[in-house]
DNA sequence: CGCGGAGTTGAACGCATTCAAGTCTTGTGG
DNA sequence: CCACAAGACTTGAATGCGTTCAACTCCGCG
């Protein structure tokens, strides 16, 4: 894989070095894209899966008055439009937020993996399931949590996802979003996002400045956002590290032992 | 496939009659389950995928004060826990809402399809992507729409999904949820759900009574909810039918022609 | 007959939106 | 080098949507 294309770091639990070699043969040349640039339009036919080598992007839908709801934030190392691999087009728009580097993987090449490397093929299914879990959790976040908690929860997610890729340490992470963007991600107005951010700041939990979130109290932030990260399906070592840093039993603590039920039958 | 197990009706665009024959060999005996019964517990290891032959179920997460947020409603004909197929456990709970009939498909048998019937294997990926799209849209619904619109939008989705399976006609559909459930699905209190429902009623859009939603003005309901159903990825004939019934260009109207761009490269 | 769950309605409160004004920073052109 | 414009951020005040608390009805069921 050419310099800079670091799939192995992005999904350490899913792609081993052999996989990465194999994938290196499949992608086209990386492309630089400006900030605030639409990558994919809802409903438009696409033939390549985009791997976000660097930079941030967002998936969103617009309401009928043109206001935007972010569905998920995509961080460096994400495949950002895998659904298109199986259905050929997307039900939402995708745009960069910061300047970005995108690596196109032609669908055809990925499809061929089913024959040539079925294990690897399955990994893409796993990636898209992880994606789905992130969407689900977004519904929980905006549906159930109050303003301050929504932002704290959102920050905690972005932290955990970047931390899992070694893109940041426990003290902070990159988040090149405006307060308006954060509002659109968390389902609130920019003004209110501002007020909630200043609450988090004055409570000594975190500060956002210059596209960087500095974390002053990670357990406090996670608590404020009722954050539990089991839905990220992180590999065990990283999961343990997060548990150590955050404290709460929000991870796999709840995963049950091997004696669990195996079907609906058992729960009659 | 034994009487009652009607996969073909559930996914007419994904499973043909040969597929259904093939799947018939894989499932265990259907199981009756009471209403309000938890089928799967978050984090618990599962070995069977559950096909919801009949009845309604919900996927949900709880906040730290124990209040529930529905992530999606599962209707008859849904595979309700496919994520567990690839990762072995779930990040959320699933419970029945009405009495239900569940058909367990052992994971192993489905995995074997990769070798024996790769096309069919892929269809399960497609099903789970459709699922993901429904979750995404839920985030849009609760994040961007106001109370009345959230409920109208939710009703429109449940209608469209049941209509696509011929479980209902254009005049109404089954929805055995209490108003409290609807509140949990749409991110609001039961009291407010009640008020929004009575608005929809008094505006002549729809009524909910006895577990049945009667639709009085389908285009009006869809408009009130800003509903667009492209995200359901429905097969063309059904999509056209919905467009005829609802009117608005909310479906594939936006799907672009074959001349579309093929990668990030083209949009610099 | 009485209980409990679901639905309905009123009234007070409070969180979030809206409108608006003003600061600060950045980049651009004179 | 300064002037100016544009965008991001901040803050105040008024409004209103949704929550909360509470009371009451209706219905099915023991």
**DSSP conformation letters of B62-121:** E-TTS-EEEEEEE-TT-B--THHHHHSB-SSEEEESS-EEEEEEEHHHHHHHHHH-HHHH
Provide, as residue numbers in chain A, all residues whose Cβ is less than 8 Å from the Cβ of B83: 129, 132-133
Is the CB of B125 less than 8 angstroms away from the CB of A125? yes
Kindly tell me if the per-residue pLDDT of A251 is higher than 80. no
Proximity of residue B69 CB to strand D below 7 A? no
Read off the pLDDT band of A34 (50, 70, 90): very high
Q: In a mutagenesis test of the A interface, which of B74, B91, B115, B148 is the best target, namely the one with the most A β-carbons within 10 Å? A: B91
Kindly tell me if the per-residue pLDDT of A2 is higher than 60. no
Residues 146-185 of B with CB under 8 A from A: none
Distances (CA, A) of B139 to A20, B69, B133: 33, 12, 10
A91 → closest Cβ in B67, B230, B264: B230
Listed range (A12-16, A42-46, B76-80, B107-111) with the worst mean pLDDT: A12-16
CA distance B125 to A128: 9
Listed range (A77-91, A168-182, A242-256, B213-227) with the worst mean pLDDT: A242-256
Mean pLDDT of A73-86: 94
Residue A231 forms contact with B (CB below 8 Å):
yes
Percent share of chain B, pLDDT over 70? 89
Proximity of residue A192 CB to strand C below 7 A? yes
pLDDT by residue (tens digit) across A183-219?
999 999 999 999 999 999 999 999 999 999 999 999 9
Nucleotide nearest to B150 (CA to C1'): D18
In chain B, beta strands by DSSP E: 31-33, 38-40, 48-54, 57-62, 68-74, 93-96, 100-106, 172-174, 206-209, 212-215
Distances (CA, A) of B152 to A73, B159, B193, B203, B245: 27, 10, 11, 12, 16
- Whether this prediction's pTM lies above 0.85 is answered by yes
Q: pLDDT at position B268, please?
A: 25
Residues 191-230 of A with CB under 8 A from B: 226, 230
Mean pLDDT of chain A: 88
């Amino acid at each position: 894989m050419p310099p800079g294309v670091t799939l192995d770091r992005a999904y350490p639990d899913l792609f081993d070095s052999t996989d990465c070699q194999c994938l290196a043969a499949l992608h086209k040349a990386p492309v630089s894209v400006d900030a605030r640039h639409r990558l994919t339009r809802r409903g438009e036919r696409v033939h390549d899966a985009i791997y976000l080598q660097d930079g941030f992007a967002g998936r969103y839908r617009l309401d009928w008055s043109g206001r935007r709801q972010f569905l998920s934030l995509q961080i460096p190392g994400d495949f950002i439009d895998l659904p298109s691999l199986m259905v050929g087009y997307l039900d939402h728009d995708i745009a960069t937020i910061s300047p970005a580097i995108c690596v196109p993987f032609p669908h055809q090449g990925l499809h061929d993996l089913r024959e040539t490397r079925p294990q690897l093929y399955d990994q893409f299914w796993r990636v898209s399931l992880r994606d789905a879990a992130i969407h689900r959790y977004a519904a929980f976040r905006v549906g159930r949590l109050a303003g301050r908690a929504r932002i704290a929860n959102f920050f905690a997610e972005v932290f955990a996802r970047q931390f899992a890729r070694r893109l940041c340490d426990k003290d902070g992470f990159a988040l090149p979003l405006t307060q308006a963007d954060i509002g659109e991600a968390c389902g609130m107005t920019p003004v209110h996002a501002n007020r909630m951010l200043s609450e988090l700041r004055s409570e000594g939990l975190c500060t956002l400045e210059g596209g960087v979130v500095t974390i002053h109290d990670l357990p406090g932030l996670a608590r404020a956002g009722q954050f539990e990260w089991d839905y990220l399906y992180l590999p065990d070592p990283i999961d343990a590290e997060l548990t150590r840093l955050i404290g709460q039993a929000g991870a796999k603590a709840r995963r049950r032992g091997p004696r669990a039920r195996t079907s609906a039958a058992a729960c009659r």
